[in-house]
Amino acid sequence: MSRIKKFFGMITGKKDKETKPVPRVGTGTTHCLFKREDTTITPLPVFSSIIKVTTYDEGTLFLTQEKQVFVLGKNNRKQLGVKQENVSTPTKLDLENVIDVGTNEGKTLFIVEGNKLYGCGSNGYNALGLDDTTMDTSIVEIPSTRYENEKLLFVAPAFSFSILITDKSLFILGQK
C-alpha cells in the first residue's frame, strides 16, 4: 500500500468494493484533491510541487515551486482571482512569479517577484489597501507607497485587516 493511500486511508479494495471517503478541500463537497481511476485513487499531477496551502471556509489556494497559484472552492467575493463562482477542479491563475499567498474571509493577497503586492476579493474595512472599500475586485496591483523601499516577505489576511511583513516592518492594511 502506498504511503499516500495509507496516510489518507483512501483505498478501495478490489475484493470488497467498499469505498472510503475522498479528502476534501474546504467545507464544500465538490473540491477533491484526488481523482478516481478504477479501484484506486490517484493524486492529481498539479499537486506534486506544492510549497504552500492557504485556505478559508470554502476554498483553497495552492502555491507551487514553479511560483504558480492554483485555486479550488467557492468564489463568491472574487477571492480566488477567477471569474467563475464555483471552482471544482484545480484552476491556475494568470498571475506568474508568486512568492507568497494568503487568503481569509473573502480576500486574497499575493506577493509577486519584483516586490509587487496584488489582491482580490473583498476590500471591506480597506483590508486589501485599496481606496474603494465597497467593491469586490478581480486581481489588481496594490499601490506600494508605504513599503516601496522594503522587501515584501509575507502576507496574512484576516477578517477586517491584513498583515504585510517586510524585511524592515510590519504593516496593517485595513481596520486595526
For the chain, the average pLDDT equals 79
Instruction: Look at residue 110 in the predicted model and tell me its pLDDT.
Output: 97
H helices of the chain, in order, are: 3-8
| CA 122-124-127 angle, 5° bins | 85
In this prediction the pTM is 0.75
C-alpha cell at 145: 507607497
Domains of the chain: residue spans and CATH: 1-43 (no CATH), 45-174 (2.130.10.10)
Question: What is the C-alpha R_g of the chain?
Answer: 18
Neighbours of 160 (CB within 10 A): 13
pLDDT band at 143 (very low <50, low <70, confident <90, very high): confident
Whether 160 has a pLDDT exceeding 70, the answer reads: yes
**What are the strands of the beta sheet with 98-104, ordered from one edge?**
98-104, 107-112, 116-122, 136-142
User: Burial of 55 by CB count in 10 Å (0-12 exposed, 13-18 middle, 19+ buried)?
Assistant: middle
C-alpha cell at 3: 504511503
